[in-house]
Amino acid sequence: MVVADLPGCTIDAGVKDKNGYQLVSAFALASLIREHADALALDPTQPDDVLNRALDSCLDSEMDEVRTAAEGIVRRLGRNLGYLLLALRRGDPVNRAARDEWNDSYWAYWATIRCVWLGGGIASPRIGPALCRSALDVFDQAGVHDYAINLSPYGSALPLVGMARRAPPDCSMAYVFDFGHTRIKRARPIVEAGSLRALERCADAPTGWGDPSRDDKSAAARLLDHMINVIDEIHAEIHTGACQSDPVRVLASIAAYMRDGQPLLAQSGAYVRIGQIVPNLQCAIQDRLHERWGVPVEVLLEHDGTAAAQAYAGQPHTAVITIGTALGIGFPPGDDAALRPLYSDFTGF
Protein backbone atom coordinates (compact mmCIF):
# COMPACT_ATOMS: atom_id res chain seq x y z
CA MET A 1 0.00 0.00 0.00
CA VAL A 2 1.47 3.34 -1.13
CA VAL A 3 0.25 6.74 0.05
CA ALA A 4 0.57 8.55 -3.28
CA ASP A 5 -1.61 11.51 -2.27
CA LEU A 6 -4.68 12.54 -0.27
CA PRO A 7 -6.37 15.22 -2.40
CA GLY A 8 -7.68 18.10 -0.31
CA CYS A 9 -5.47 17.21 2.69
CA THR A 10 -2.18 18.72 3.76
CA ILE A 11 0.28 15.85 4.13
CA ASP A 12 3.41 15.91 6.29
CA ALA A 13 6.72 15.99 4.47
CA GLY A 14 8.26 12.60 3.74
CA VAL A 15 4.96 10.68 3.50
CA LYS A 16 3.96 10.85 -0.16
CA ASP A 17 4.92 7.89 -2.34
CA LYS A 18 6.00 5.80 0.65
CA ASN A 19 4.60 2.34 1.35
CA GLY A 20 3.46 0.89 4.66
CA TYR A 21 6.83 -0.70 5.44
CA GLN A 22 8.62 2.61 4.86
CA LEU A 23 6.08 4.51 6.98
CA VAL A 24 5.20 2.20 9.90
CA SER A 25 7.53 -0.66 10.86
CA ALA A 26 10.58 -1.41 12.96
CA PHE A 27 12.65 -0.21 10.00
CA ALA A 28 10.66 3.03 9.76
CA LEU A 29 11.04 3.72 13.49
CA ALA A 30 14.79 3.05 13.43
CA SER A 31 15.15 5.36 10.42
CA LEU A 32 13.43 8.18 12.31
CA ILE A 33 15.66 7.58 15.34
CA ARG A 34 18.80 7.74 13.20
CA GLU A 35 17.55 10.97 11.66
CA HIS A 36 17.43 12.51 15.16
CA ALA A 37 20.26 10.55 16.75
CA ASP A 38 22.17 13.66 17.87
CA ALA A 39 19.17 15.11 19.71
CA LEU A 40 18.54 11.70 21.30
CA ALA A 41 22.20 11.22 22.26
CA LEU A 42 22.19 7.82 20.55
CA ASP A 43 24.72 6.11 18.31
CA PRO A 44 23.12 5.90 14.84
CA THR A 45 25.33 2.95 13.86
CA GLN A 46 23.55 0.67 16.35
CA PRO A 47 21.24 -2.04 14.89
CA ASP A 48 17.56 -1.24 14.40
CA ASP A 49 16.34 -3.30 17.36
CA VAL A 50 18.84 -1.65 19.73
CA LEU A 51 17.77 1.84 18.67
CA ASN A 52 14.08 1.01 18.90
CA ARG A 53 14.45 -0.35 22.43
CA ALA A 54 16.41 2.74 23.44
CA LEU A 55 13.50 4.99 22.52
CA ASP A 56 11.61 4.04 25.71
CA SER A 57 14.41 5.43 27.90
CA CYS A 58 14.60 8.54 25.76
CA LEU A 59 10.90 9.16 26.41
CA ASP A 60 11.64 9.06 30.16
CA SER A 61 14.81 11.13 29.94
CA GLU A 62 15.34 14.00 32.39
CA MET A 63 16.87 15.99 29.52
CA ASP A 64 14.20 18.09 27.81
CA GLU A 65 15.88 17.97 24.41
CA VAL A 66 16.08 14.17 24.42
CA ARG A 67 12.51 13.71 25.66
CA THR A 68 11.10 16.23 23.16
CA ALA A 69 12.91 14.57 20.24
CA ALA A 70 11.64 11.13 21.31
CA GLU A 71 8.06 12.37 21.61
CA GLY A 72 8.33 13.91 18.14
CA ILE A 73 9.44 10.58 16.66
CA VAL A 74 6.49 8.73 18.19
CA ARG A 75 4.13 11.44 16.96
CA ARG A 76 5.60 11.19 13.45
CA LEU A 77 5.24 7.39 13.38
CA GLY A 78 1.63 7.68 14.56
CA ARG A 79 0.82 10.27 11.91
CA ASN A 80 2.38 8.00 9.27
CA LEU A 81 -0.01 5.28 10.40
CA GLY A 82 -2.90 7.74 10.25
CA TYR A 83 -2.10 8.68 6.64
CA LEU A 84 -1.87 5.02 5.67
CA LEU A 85 -5.25 4.18 7.24
CA LEU A 86 -6.89 7.32 5.85
CA ALA A 87 -5.70 6.44 2.34
CA LEU A 88 -7.21 2.96 2.76
CA ARG A 89 -10.46 4.41 4.08
CA ARG A 90 -10.85 6.97 1.27
CA GLY A 91 -9.67 4.89 -1.66
CA ASP A 92 -8.77 7.89 -3.82
CA PRO A 93 -8.06 7.07 -7.49
CA VAL A 94 -4.43 8.19 -7.15
CA ASN A 95 -3.82 5.58 -4.42
CA ARG A 96 -5.75 2.89 -6.28
CA ALA A 97 -3.50 3.49 -9.27
CA ALA A 98 -0.45 2.92 -7.06
CA ARG A 99 -1.87 -0.47 -5.96
CA ASP A 100 -2.99 -1.86 -9.31
CA GLU A 101 -2.89 -5.51 -8.16
CA TRP A 102 -5.96 -4.78 -6.01
CA ASN A 103 -9.40 -4.81 -7.58
CA ASP A 104 -12.28 -2.67 -6.32
CA SER A 105 -13.36 -5.28 -3.75
CA TYR A 106 -10.28 -4.58 -1.59
CA TRP A 107 -10.98 -0.86 -1.48
CA ALA A 108 -14.68 -1.45 -0.86
CA TYR A 109 -13.83 -3.62 2.14
CA TRP A 110 -11.39 -1.10 3.66
CA ALA A 111 -14.05 1.58 3.24
CA THR A 112 -16.23 -0.36 5.70
CA ILE A 113 -13.59 -0.39 8.46
CA ARG A 114 -14.45 1.80 11.43
CA CYS A 115 -12.20 0.37 14.17
CA VAL A 116 -8.54 -0.64 14.25
CA TRP A 117 -6.82 -2.52 17.07
CA LEU A 118 -3.05 -2.06 17.29
CA GLY A 119 -0.62 -4.63 18.66
CA GLY A 120 2.89 -5.90 18.09
CA GLY A 121 6.27 -5.02 19.56
CA ILE A 122 6.38 -1.44 18.25
CA ALA A 123 2.90 -0.65 19.60
CA SER A 124 4.17 -1.14 23.14
CA PRO A 125 2.37 0.10 26.26
CA ARG A 126 4.93 2.91 26.43
CA ILE A 127 4.46 4.39 22.95
CA GLY A 128 1.22 2.75 21.80
CA PRO A 129 -1.21 5.33 23.29
CA ALA A 130 0.66 8.19 21.59
CA LEU A 131 0.63 6.27 18.28
CA CYS A 132 -3.15 5.96 18.49
CA ARG A 133 -3.65 9.64 19.36
CA SER A 134 -1.39 10.88 16.58
CA ALA A 135 -3.00 8.62 13.99
CA LEU A 136 -6.46 9.84 14.97
CA ASP A 137 -5.25 13.44 14.70
CA VAL A 138 -4.81 12.83 10.97
CA PHE A 139 -8.42 11.65 10.69
CA ASP A 140 -9.68 14.63 12.70
CA GLN A 141 -7.78 17.07 10.50
CA ALA A 142 -9.30 15.40 7.43
CA GLY A 143 -12.82 15.78 8.89
CA VAL A 144 -13.31 12.02 9.39
CA HIS A 145 -14.73 11.43 12.87
CA ASP A 146 -16.31 7.96 12.69
CA TYR A 147 -13.07 6.03 13.16
CA ALA A 148 -11.45 4.47 16.24
CA ILE A 149 -7.82 3.40 16.68
CA ASN A 150 -7.30 1.45 19.91
CA LEU A 151 -4.26 -0.07 21.59
CA SER A 152 -4.82 -3.77 22.26
CA PRO A 153 -4.10 -4.84 25.85
CA TYR A 154 -2.62 -8.06 24.42
CA GLY A 155 0.31 -6.20 22.84
CA SER A 156 2.84 -8.44 21.15
CA ALA A 157 0.93 -11.52 22.37
CA LEU A 158 -1.96 -10.86 19.97
CA PRO A 159 -1.17 -13.75 17.58
CA LEU A 160 -0.70 -16.09 20.56
CA VAL A 161 -4.11 -15.14 21.94
CA GLY A 162 -5.74 -15.67 18.56
CA MET A 163 -4.15 -19.10 18.10
CA ALA A 164 -5.00 -20.14 21.69
CA ARG A 165 -8.65 -19.50 20.87
CA ARG A 166 -8.36 -22.15 18.15
CA ALA A 167 -7.68 -24.96 20.64
CA PRO A 168 -10.54 -27.48 20.21
CA PRO A 169 -12.90 -28.30 23.09
CA ASP A 170 -11.43 -31.78 23.66
CA CYS A 171 -7.85 -30.49 23.83
CA SER A 172 -5.89 -31.69 26.87
CA MET A 173 -2.47 -30.41 25.79
CA ALA A 174 -1.74 -27.51 23.45
CA TYR A 175 1.12 -25.15 22.70
CA VAL A 176 0.90 -21.85 20.85
CA PHE A 177 3.65 -20.13 18.89
CA ASP A 178 4.17 -16.96 16.93
CA PHE A 179 6.94 -17.44 14.36
CA GLY A 180 7.95 -13.87 13.53
CA HIS A 181 10.76 -12.42 11.47
CA THR A 182 12.85 -11.49 14.52
CA ARG A 183 11.54 -13.44 17.53
CA ILE A 184 9.58 -16.62 18.17
CA LYS A 185 7.05 -16.32 20.98
CA ARG A 186 5.88 -19.41 22.87
CA ALA A 187 3.16 -20.19 25.42
CA ARG A 188 0.74 -22.79 26.76
CA PRO A 189 -2.96 -21.90 27.02
CA ILE A 190 -4.50 -22.20 30.49
CA VAL A 191 -8.15 -23.23 30.12
CA GLU A 192 -10.84 -23.26 32.81
CA ALA A 193 -14.42 -24.37 32.20
CA GLY A 194 -13.82 -24.26 28.46
CA SER A 195 -12.66 -20.63 28.46
CA LEU A 196 -9.17 -19.22 27.99
CA ARG A 197 -8.00 -18.05 31.41
CA ALA A 198 -4.37 -17.11 30.65
CA LEU A 199 -1.26 -17.86 28.64
CA GLU A 200 1.66 -19.46 30.43
CA ARG A 201 4.48 -17.71 28.58
CA CYS A 202 7.90 -19.20 27.96
CA ALA A 203 10.99 -17.23 27.04
CA ASP A 204 11.05 -15.97 23.48
CA ALA A 205 13.51 -17.62 21.13
CA PRO A 206 15.53 -15.78 18.49
CA THR A 207 14.52 -16.49 14.95
CA GLY A 208 18.21 -16.77 14.32
CA TRP A 209 18.31 -16.51 10.57
CA GLY A 210 18.37 -14.13 7.69
CA ASP A 211 16.39 -14.65 4.53
CA PRO A 212 18.11 -17.41 2.51
CA SER A 213 18.21 -17.11 -1.24
CA ARG A 214 15.54 -18.89 -3.22
CA ASP A 215 18.07 -21.53 -4.31
CA ASP A 216 19.62 -22.23 -0.88
CA LYS A 217 17.85 -25.47 0.00
CA SER A 218 20.31 -26.42 2.76
CA ALA A 219 19.65 -23.13 4.59
CA ALA A 220 15.90 -23.67 4.28
CA ALA A 221 16.31 -27.17 5.76
CA ARG A 222 18.19 -25.69 8.73
CA LEU A 223 15.36 -23.23 9.28
CA LEU A 224 12.87 -26.07 9.46
CA ASP A 225 15.11 -27.89 11.96
CA HIS A 226 15.20 -24.71 14.06
CA MET A 227 11.39 -24.50 14.10
CA ILE A 228 11.14 -28.13 15.24
CA ASN A 229 13.72 -27.58 17.99
CA VAL A 230 11.96 -24.43 19.25
CA ILE A 231 8.67 -26.35 19.50
CA ASP A 232 10.39 -29.30 21.16
CA GLU A 233 11.95 -27.06 23.83
CA ILE A 234 8.60 -25.89 25.14
CA HIS A 235 7.28 -29.46 25.14
CA ALA A 236 10.23 -30.59 27.25
CA GLU A 237 9.91 -27.57 29.56
CA ILE A 238 6.21 -27.60 30.44
CA HIS A 239 4.86 -31.01 29.42
CA THR A 240 2.59 -32.11 32.25
CA GLY A 241 1.87 -35.72 31.33
CA ALA A 242 -1.28 -35.40 29.29
CA CYS A 243 -2.91 -38.67 28.31
CA GLN A 244 -0.70 -40.16 25.61
CA SER A 245 -3.73 -41.20 23.54
CA ASP A 246 -4.80 -37.56 23.16
CA PRO A 247 -3.12 -35.60 20.38
CA VAL A 248 -0.85 -32.73 21.33
CA ARG A 249 -1.98 -29.60 19.49
CA VAL A 250 0.60 -27.21 18.12
CA LEU A 251 -1.11 -23.97 17.06
CA ALA A 252 1.21 -21.49 15.40
CA SER A 253 1.02 -18.19 13.60
CA ILE A 254 3.65 -17.56 10.98
CA ALA A 255 4.92 -14.43 9.24
CA ALA A 256 3.72 -15.51 5.81
CA TYR A 257 0.45 -15.73 3.93
CA MET A 258 -0.76 -19.32 4.12
CA ARG A 259 -3.11 -21.62 2.29
CA ASP A 260 -4.01 -25.04 3.73
CA GLY A 261 -0.85 -25.18 5.84
CA GLN A 262 1.59 -24.12 3.13
CA PRO A 263 3.15 -20.65 2.63
CA LEU A 264 2.08 -19.04 -0.61
CA LEU A 265 5.22 -19.07 -2.73
CA ALA A 266 4.52 -15.76 -4.50
CA GLN A 267 5.97 -13.79 -1.56
CA SER A 268 9.33 -13.28 0.13
CA GLY A 269 10.56 -14.34 3.55
CA ALA A 270 12.44 -17.13 5.27
CA TYR A 271 9.35 -19.22 5.99
CA VAL A 272 8.44 -19.16 2.32
CA ARG A 273 11.83 -20.68 1.54
CA ILE A 274 11.00 -23.64 3.77
CA GLY A 275 7.76 -24.08 1.85
CA GLN A 276 9.82 -24.56 -1.28
CA ILE A 277 11.49 -27.73 0.04
CA VAL A 278 8.44 -29.53 1.49
CA PRO A 279 5.07 -30.27 -0.13
CA ASN A 280 3.24 -28.89 2.93
CA LEU A 281 4.92 -27.14 5.86
CA GLN A 282 2.11 -27.92 8.31
CA CYS A 283 2.26 -31.65 7.53
CA ALA A 284 6.07 -31.65 7.62
CA ILE A 285 6.15 -30.19 11.13
CA GLN A 286 3.40 -32.54 12.28
CA ASP A 287 5.23 -35.63 10.98
CA ARG A 288 8.57 -34.56 12.47
CA LEU A 289 7.06 -33.90 15.91
CA HIS A 290 5.15 -37.20 15.89
CA GLU A 291 8.38 -39.01 15.09
CA ARG A 292 10.25 -37.18 17.86
CA TRP A 293 7.60 -37.38 20.61
CA GLY A 294 6.01 -40.73 19.78
CA VAL A 295 2.48 -39.40 20.44
CA PRO A 296 -0.28 -38.18 18.12
CA VAL A 297 0.29 -34.57 17.07
CA GLU A 298 -1.99 -32.10 15.29
CA VAL A 299 -0.46 -28.91 13.87
CA LEU A 300 -2.26 -25.82 12.64
CA LEU A 301 -0.38 -22.97 10.91
CA GLU A 302 -2.00 -19.60 10.16
CA HIS A 303 -0.93 -16.23 8.81
CA ASP A 304 0.08 -14.04 11.76
CA GLY A 305 -2.32 -11.23 10.92
CA THR A 306 -5.22 -13.67 10.62
CA ALA A 307 -4.23 -15.20 13.96
CA ALA A 308 -4.07 -11.82 15.69
CA ALA A 309 -7.52 -10.88 14.37
CA GLN A 310 -9.07 -13.96 15.99
CA ALA A 311 -8.53 -12.27 19.37
CA TYR A 312 -11.34 -9.87 18.32
CA ALA A 313 -13.64 -12.34 16.59
CA GLY A 314 -17.23 -11.14 16.37
CA GLN A 315 -16.35 -7.44 16.08
CA PRO A 316 -17.67 -6.06 12.77
CA HIS A 317 -16.03 -3.38 10.59
CA THR A 318 -12.73 -3.99 12.37
CA ALA A 319 -9.09 -4.51 11.35
CA VAL A 320 -6.25 -5.73 13.55
CA ILE A 321 -2.75 -4.44 12.82
CA THR A 322 0.46 -5.65 14.43
CA ILE A 323 3.46 -3.36 14.08
CA GLY A 324 6.75 -5.21 14.34
CA THR A 325 9.43 -6.05 11.81
CA ALA A 326 6.71 -5.39 9.25
CA LEU A 327 2.95 -4.77 9.35
CA GLY A 328 0.65 -7.70 10.00
CA ILE A 329 -2.97 -7.19 8.94
CA GLY A 330 -5.99 -9.31 9.79
CA PHE A 331 -9.78 -9.04 9.92
CA PRO A 332 -11.77 -10.63 12.76
CA PRO A 333 -14.11 -13.44 11.70
CA GLY A 334 -17.73 -12.46 12.09
CA ASP A 335 -18.65 -15.52 14.16
CA ASP A 336 -16.69 -16.46 17.27
CA ALA A 337 -18.81 -19.54 18.12
CA ALA A 338 -16.04 -21.91 16.99
CA LEU A 339 -13.40 -20.17 19.14
CA ARG A 340 -12.72 -20.51 22.84
CA PRO A 341 -14.22 -17.59 24.80
CA LEU A 342 -11.94 -15.36 26.85
CA TYR A 343 -12.37 -14.80 30.57
CA SER A 344 -13.43 -11.22 31.29
CA ASP A 345 -10.15 -10.60 33.13
CA PHE A 346 -7.96 -12.27 30.52
CA THR A 347 -4.88 -10.18 29.77
CA GLY A 348 -2.85 -12.44 27.48
CA PHE A 349 -0.13 -13.16 30.03
User: Per-residue pLDDT for 124 more than 80?
Assistant: yes
The answer to whether the beta carbons of residues 111 and 92 sit under 8 Å apart is no
Burial state string for 321-345 with b = 16 or more CB within 10 A and e = fewer than 16: bbbbbbbbbbbbbeebeebbebeee
Number of other CB atoms surrounding residue 150 within 10 Å? 16
Predicted pLDDT at 213: 62
Which regions of the chain carry the CATH code 3.30.420.40?
157-303
**Residues 75, 67: Cα–Cα separation, whole Å:** 12
Over residues 273-288, the mean pLDDT reads: 95
* pLDDT tens-digit series, residues 172-217: 789 999 999 888 999 999 888 888 999 999 899 988 766 656 678 8
Query: If one looks up domain 157-303 in CATH, what number appears?
Result: 3.30.420.40
Name the pTM for this structure.
Answer: 0.92
Predicted pLDDT at 210: 62
* pLDDT tens-digit series, residues 217-241: 888 899 899 999 999 998 887 665 5
The answer to whether the beta carbons of residues 2 and 95 sit under 8 Å apart is yes
Banded model confidence at residue 147, pLDDT cuts 50, 70, 90: very high
**Residues 64, 71: Cα–Cα separation, whole Å:** 10
Banded model confidence at residue 301, pLDDT cuts 50, 70, 90: very high
* pLDDT tens-digit series, residues 242-268: 555 678 999 999 999 999 999 998 888
